[in-house]
A and B are shown apart, each in its own frame.
Chain A
């Protein structure tokens, strides 16, 4: 495996921030995840994955930074590549509708037909970089350049399940929120359930595909939907 030139910075008294070159790409993400797997043998409070960083939070304050850094450097060089069998593609059904969404406005502003927006949005395989912002909210990479569109100037209530585009990003809102993203559809699946041992099935390194469904399919799935996966 190629070893990146990564840096280690103290982050408060109990954490170390590990940083990769500042780029958004899959190779870096997979390297972060490989390192994270390797660190899972340590007793830690938590590890936070970012686009090109890993925040390692220890259970107690770090008394000797150099020693800790050496230990992490050693674990980095002994990491193993993330197994493909551990990664999944999730199919998320979406009802792309013009009612109660910004789809029509979006189409006019971008001068792209509604059909073409749906086609472009649902033909991409999106990489899950990490979860954040809300429990179960996925930071996805891979949005078609033609669909990049600035956030709305006037933030409004974005309903639970909304599929939206903000700048160069797209995502699904697990909960109602106030935001400026352009809503283009609704997904009937529940992405997050705190009462499950694994509250959100999608994880960093997985892929997500949006599958267009009709209004009647949406109504049928609502409430009792099961997420489908395809082998990678």
Chain B
């Protein structure tokens, strides 16, 4: 078991989410950064969907009461075992009584703690991802215990190939024209090429950007939205929807981030700059 000594800003159990639930108004959810999440499991030889801990902004402290193997991926907050620095993206052997904590931020927002065998927690609608209204708790608190099963969940794949791309590389967000991109005039399209800065309003549901784009679009009839959808709100602010977003929305969807850029954006923080880069689509 692992005891949560500090849960920090937002600590939760995540996997790759629940698919096919939108007809109940349930979004897929899951790890904010699929890329780093999967890498933690690949390094440990776990099934790719094995549940991990998602630590927000390096705030969390954990006590292990068993010998196990773990691996940290994603945001680097100078992790330590018993106050001694450990490596990211490397399997780490943990002894009973060890304490995992974090130090100063190097990069990113979300750190994944993968555990050999995966976390064994409440499974609701085919996923262990904690989410409001779905799981009994939507996040972990100080004093919670996390169980895992060493022998379980081991991947049968023979060769583990790490996804060798860097979620922390640059601020370019590759995106496609969204369903309502055609509503934009040339001036609005030009405004989209500027740099955008993340506001304080960033969470698992969405990221609100600071800069505004002039617009007088009417609201439209509610239609599907997915993580990475960039909505243009009546105030001119852009909202990029993230993993726990609603399933439908009524604001024009002007851009759609590609899957990898959703992971990249999740690792950006308030005041960071991003740039949208349109990808040509073969239609």
Query: Bound complex: CA of A131 vs CA of B134, how far in Å?
Result: 15
Interface secondary structure of A, over-half rule:
loop
Q: Would A66 and B133 count as touching, CB distance under 8 A?
A: no
Q: Is B268 an interface residue (CB 8 A)?
A: no
Report the interface size class on chain A: 35 or more
Check A48/B22 contact, CB under 8 A, given A132-B222, A199-B125: yes
Check A11/B134 contact, CB under 8 A, given A45-B20, A51-B221, A199-B125: no
Q: Would A51 and B222 count as touching, CB distance under 8 A?
A: yes
In chain A, what residue has the closest Cβ to B255? A12
Q: Would B258 and A12 count as touching, CB distance under 8 A?
A: yes
Q: Which parts of A54-105 form the interface with B (CB within 8 Å)?
A: 54-55, 57, 61, 64-66
Check A66/B283 contact, CB under 8 A, given A12-B257, A135-B133, A136-B24: yes
Q: Which of A14-22, A110-118, A224-232 contacts B (4 or more CB under 8 A)?
A: A14-22
Check A50/B281 contact, CB under 8 A, given A12-B258, A131-B25: no
Q: Would B19 and A45 count as touching, CB distance under 8 A?
A: yes
Q: Which of B53-61, B90-98, B223-231 contacts A (4 or more CB under 8 A)?
A: B223-231
Q: Would A132 and B179 count as touching, CB distance under 8 A?
A: no
Q: Would B223 and A47 count as touching, CB distance under 8 A?
A: no
Q: Is B8 an interface residue (CB 8 A)?
A: no
Q: Would B176 and A12 count as touching, CB distance under 8 A?
A: yes
Q: Which residues of B contact A17 (CB under 8 A)?
A: 179, 223-224
Q: Would A194 and B223 count as touching, CB distance under 8 A?
A: no
Query: Bound complex: CA of A48 vs CA of B248, how far in Å?
Result: 8
Q: Which residues of A contact B281 (CB under 8 A)?
A: 10, 65
Q: Which parts of A13-64 form the interface with B (CB within 8 Å)?
A: 13-15, 17, 19, 22, 24, 44-55, 57, 61, 64
Q: Is A200 an interface residue (CB 8 A)?
A: yes
Q: Is A207 an interface residue (CB 8 A)?
A: no
Q: Which residues of A contact B135 (CB under 8 A)?
A: 194
Q: Which parts of B130-147 form the interface with A (CB within 8 Å)?
A: 133-135
Q: Which residues of A contact B133 (CB under 8 A)?
A: 134-135, 174-175, 192, 194
Q: Which parts of B234-283 form the interface with A (CB within 8 Å)?
A: 246-248, 253, 256-259, 281-283
Q: Would B25 and A135 count as touching, CB distance under 8 A?
A: yes
Query: Bound complex: CA of A133 vs CA of B26, how far in Å?
Result: 9
Q: Which residues of B contact A131 (CB under 8 A)?
A: 23-25, 247
Q: Is B28 an interface residue (CB 8 A)?
A: yes
Q: Would B220 and A12 count as touching, CB distance under 8 A?
A: no
- B164-181 interface mask toward A, CB cutoff 8 Å, 1 = contact, 0 = none? 000000000000101100
In chain A, what residue has the closest Cβ to B176? A12
Query: Bound complex: CA of A112 vs CA of B17, how far in Å?
Result: 47
- A128-141 interface mask toward B, CB cutoff 8 Å, 1 = contact, 0 = none? 00111111110100
Query: Bound complex: CA of A143 vs CA of B248, how far in Å?
Result: 21
Q: Would B221 and A47 count as touching, CB distance under 8 A?
A: no
Q: Would A132 and B248 count as touching, CB distance under 8 A?
A: yes
Query: Bound complex: CA of A136 vs CA of B247, how far in Å?
Result: 12
Q: Would A11 and B259 count as touching, CB distance under 8 A?
A: no
A48 is contacted by which of B19, B247, B282 (Cβ under 8 Å)? B247
Q: Would A48 and B224 count as touching, CB distance under 8 A?
A: yes
> Within the complex, what minimum Cβ distance (angstroms) separates A70 from chain B?
13
Q: Is A156 an interface residue (CB 8 A)?
A: no
Give me 13 other A-B pairs in contact (C-beta within 8 A), A139-B248, A194-B26, A199-B26 excluded: A12-B256, A14-B259, A47-B23, A52-B221, A55-B226, A131-B25, A132-B22, A132-B222, A132-B246, A135-B134, A136-B24, A194-B125, A194-B134
Interface positions of B (Cβ within 8 A of A):
19-26, 28, 124-125, 133-135, 176, 178-179, 220-226, 228-229, 246-248, 253, 256-259, 281-283
A-B contact pairs, 24 of them (CB 8 A): A9-B179, A22-B221, A24-B221, A45-B20, A46-B20, A48-B22, A48-B224, A51-B221, A51-B223, A52-B221, A53-B223, A64-B282, A65-B283, A130-B25, A131-B24, A132-B222, A133-B25, A135-B134, A139-B222, A192-B133, A194-B26, A194-B125, A199-B21, A199-B26
Interface positions of A (Cβ within 8 A of B):
9-15, 17, 19, 22, 24, 44-55, 57, 61, 64-66, 130-137, 139, 174-175, 192, 194-195, 199-200, 203-204
